[in-house]
């Protein structure tokens, strides 16, 4: 049984499921890739680079599928990108201890699970005008970009619910913006990682193929077929499973 669980094919299968599920709601899957690699004992310094690379693959096809389905709103995502991309690059240059890195990841995944199951339809009513919305987007973008660069995720897992909670766009529009946001931030963070901590990605081609297949199928179904709420609940199950296993690695027993 242990040999099956640690088999590259089994791990690639898990990554396919993650990519399919996350891409259907406009995400790249970076948080769960990172959690899975931590659980399976990958090198902690290499994990962010691998995760960002996989994010880039998934959101490349995801962005195309959501844009083709006319859900993307560039004006909505642009203010977030202006500040997030440089901060994602800065976060990618930082080297933090493994324990702190894992705690960052665990907290981010708990946030996602809480959002999906406890605040499913939460929106904040406010009247601050277009200028106020842009200021909020710029500030949020810088915070999300920094965290994304540090942890090795694209940041869309925070952005998508934020857009919905603030009432800035529909679930489909949020998913489209999330895919674009993740792609650009992953690219920015990846540049920094390759400069400061290069990783030979040829060793991870099976994972790349798995997420490409999962991301292509999931983003198409999410853009055209699936109900966003159903896929969010499915995503929540994946996240909770990852939280349980990651917590066993992080919390002293």
HEC states along the chain? CHHHHCCHHHHHHHHHHHHHHHHCCCCCCHHHHHHHHHHCCCCCCCHHHHHHHHHHHHHHHHHHHHHHCCCCCHHHHHHHHHHHHHHHHHHHHCCCCHHHHHHHHHHHHHHHHHHHHHCCCCCCCCCCHHHHHHHHHHHHHHHHHHHHHHHCCCCHHHHHHHHHHCCCCCHHHHHHHHHHHHHHHHHHHHHHHHHHCCCCHHHHHHHHHHHHHHHHHHHHHHHHCCCHHHHHHHHHHHHHHHHHHHHHHHCCC
Does residue 141 contact residue 79 with C-beta atoms inside 8 Å? yes
* Widest distance between CA atoms in the chain: 58
Q: Summarize pLDDT for 161-200 with one digit per residue, the tens.
A: 777 777 777 777 877 887 788 888 788 878 887 887 778 8
Phi, psi for 113 (deg, rounded to 5): -65, -40
**What span, in angstroms and rounded, lies between the C-alpha atoms of 141 and 84?**
4
Per-residue model confidence (pLDDT) at position 6: 59
Position 211 scores a pLDDT of 93
Residue 95 clears pLDDT 50, i.e. is over it: yes
| Mean pLDDT computed over every residue of the chain | 78
* Residue 1 in this model has a pLDDT that exceeds 50: no
Nearest to 238 by CA among 32, 41, 47: 32
Tokens at 182, concatenated: 């993740």
Percentage of residues of the chain with pLDDT beyond 90 = 5
How do residues 70-92 score in pLDDT, each as one tens digit? 777 778 888 888 888 888 888 87
Angle ∠(77,220,6) on CA atoms, nearest 5:
100
Give the CA count within 13 Å in the CB-facing half-sphere of 44: 14
Mean pLDDT of 17-31: 82
Q: Where are the domains of the chain?
A: 2-250
Give yes or no for residue 125 having a pLDDT over 70.
no
């Amino acid at each position: 049984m242990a040999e099956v669980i640690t088999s590259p094919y089994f791990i690639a299968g898990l990554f396919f499921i993650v990519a399919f599920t996350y891409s259907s709601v406009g995400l790249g899957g970076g948080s769960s890739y990172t959690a899975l690699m931590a659980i399976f004992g990958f090198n902690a310094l290499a994990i962010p680079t691998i995760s960002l690379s996989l994010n880039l693959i998934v959101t490349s096809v995801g962005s195309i599928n959501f844009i083709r389905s006319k859900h993307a709103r560039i004006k909505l995502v642009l203010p977030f990108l202006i500040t997030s991309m440089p901060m994602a690059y800065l976060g990618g240059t930082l080297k933090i201890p493994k324990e702190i890195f894992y705690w960052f990841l665990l907290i981010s995944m708990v946030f996602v699970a809480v959002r999906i199951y406890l605040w499913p339809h939460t929106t904040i009513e406010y009247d601050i005008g277009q200028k106020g919305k842009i200021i909020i987007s710029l500030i949020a973008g810088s915070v999300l970009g920094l965290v994304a660069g540090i942890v090795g995720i694209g940041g869309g897992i925070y952005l998508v619910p934020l857009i919905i909670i603030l009432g800035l766009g529909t679930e489909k529009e949020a998913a489209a913006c999330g895919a674009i946001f993740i792609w650009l931030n992953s690219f920015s963070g990846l540049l920094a990682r390759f400069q400061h901590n290069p990783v030979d990605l040829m060793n991870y081609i099976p994972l790349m193929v798995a997420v490409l297949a999962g991301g292509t199928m999931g983003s198409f179904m999410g853009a055209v077929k699936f109900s966003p709420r159903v896929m969010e609940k499915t995503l929540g199950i994946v996240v909770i499973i990852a939280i349980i296993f990651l917590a066993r690695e992080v919390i002293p027993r």
